[in-house]
Amino acid sequence: MPEGLHPVWIIVRREVRDQFRDWRIIFPIIGLTLLFPFLMNFTAQQILGFARGYGADIVGERLVPFLMMIVGFFPLSASLVIALDTFVGEKERGSIEPLLNTPLKDWQLYTGKLLAAIVPSLTASFLGMAVYLGGLGLQRVPLPELELTLLILVLTMVQAVVMVSGAVVVSSQATSVRAANLLSSFIIIPIALLIQGESVLMFWGTYTTLWWAVFGLLVLAVLLVRVGLAHFRREELLGREIDVLNFRWGWRIFWRQFTGGAANLREWYFKAVPSAVARIKPAVILTSLFALVSIGLGATQFQRFQLDIPTADLGGSLGQVVQLLPTLSARPILLIWLQNLRVQAIGLILGVFSFGILGFVPILAGMGISGYLVALLANNGIPALTAITAFLLPHSIFEIPGLILASAAVFQFGVLIATNDTDKTIGEVAISALADWAKIMLGLVMPLLLIGAAIEAWVTPQIALLLLS
């Protein structure tokens, strides 16, 4: 074992030993590990018998792996208490000072605590699933396929790392166990929604998509670990006494970052906004590459989702639609503009809860759909260049750069959160990143989307009508 990891192993061994000595932890884990699987075995047997009575064998086949996933998830949810207690619990009990006074490095201490919280969770989950599968075997119920079983095991392991890593981050930043328990809802609720989505995919038999979910969760787990390591400092852990919601302090940090020290609007627009764009330049390049890839992937999907479009009289149909549109009316512009802003707001929310990763969803979805439509029209007799010029090019010149900037700013938020900054707290980093996003949105994205909306409402239909008539 490398010398730097030896102290980590010592912490893991100590923490796990103490956890398994606590009856308040042992009893719930035993119940969820040994008793709950038997309940799921009984449930599976009853539902299988009911489904077979109506000739719905496939329901039972899909139910067995689903219950296996649930059996693995419940011990994780209970073991989340261990992770939440990791730092803030010991701080309240006064037992963490001796550990913090050791010559251990911050990353060794944090990694040891993290692994110590993961080990009992995974042990309970895997043992519970083993009991569940053993019970199915004794009842001569067909077991899931080996590949599907492996998928569920990997999915459970990655979800455990995500949940525990998030809980340890909360524990290291919270000032009380009560606050940590309240903040844990931001972990439980998204994971519960994820489980529901995974259940739908499992019942549909789309196991390939579940492997992509594993990949996404793995990336999120790495980011959570990175965030925890980047912002864990033992001196701050001891120094924080109570979290106060100071709106004045937060607004002061936001406004200072938003204005960039500009004295007037002109200076803000020509100095502060360009400096914010310069800070997200790598994210802009990455977002642009993702957008190009998404266009290509969307274009390949027209063979899977083929539609017959009557292109012979497409120009005439488009002319009828154009005639119904009010000439030079602001209403369609406003509707298009607000819809694009709504999509960007959703991207921001998704990005905040995924460290910027899901902030790519709006632009990737839009580019993918555009690529699909162009390929579909080309397959129906309209040349790709004509389709692009008629339906996309006029307004996309303005909208696509705006969408790229907005998505890049959201991604930059996640990058900054996961970056070690010794001069700022995690709250200051988050507020500053949101200020940069707001600056780019107000200064560039919103005007670009407004111009694009005007062209889409007034110019694009006329060009399409001219080319397709």
| Of 45-54, 69-78, 451-460, highest mean pLDDT | 451-460
CB of 407 closer than 8 Å to CB of 362: yes
Q: What SS3 state is found at 257? A: helix
Rounded distance between C-alpha atoms, residue 352 and residue 324, angstroms: 41
Task: Quote the pLDDT of residue 147.
Answer: 83
**Unique residue bearing structure tokens 């796990």:** 16
Q: What is the mean pLDDT of residues 336-365?
A: 87
Task: Quote the pLDDT of residue 248.
Answer: 81
Domain coordinates of the chain in residue numbers? 3-239, 247-468
Chain-centre distance for alpha carbon 356:
8
Length reported for the chain: 469
Is the pLDDT score of 178 beyond 70? yes
Would you state the torsion angle of the CA atoms of residues 13, 15, 18, 22, taken in this order, to the nearest 10 degrees? -130
Q: What is the mean pLDDT of residues 211-219?
A: 86
Task: Quote the pLDDT of residue 87.
Answer: 75
Task: Quote the pLDDT of residue 398.
Answer: 94
Q: What is the mean pLDDT of residues 313-320?
A: 52
Is the pLDDT score of 314 beyond 80? no
* 107 pLDDT tier (thresholds 50, 70, 90): confident
Supply the mean pLDDT for the chain.
Answer: 79
CB of 436 closer than 8 Å to CB of 411: no
Task: Quote the pLDDT of residue 35.
Answer: 72
CB of 440 closer than 8 Å to CB of 406: yes
**In the 8-state DSSP scheme, what is residue 141?**
P
Rounded distance between C-alpha atoms, residue 8 and residue 271, angstroms: 47
The amino acid at residue 342 is R
* 89 pLDDT tier (thresholds 50, 70, 90): confident
Burial (0-12, 13-18, 19+ Cβ within 10 Å), 467: middle
Q: What is the mean pLDDT of residues 290-296?
A: 91
Q: What SS3 state is found at 22? A: coil
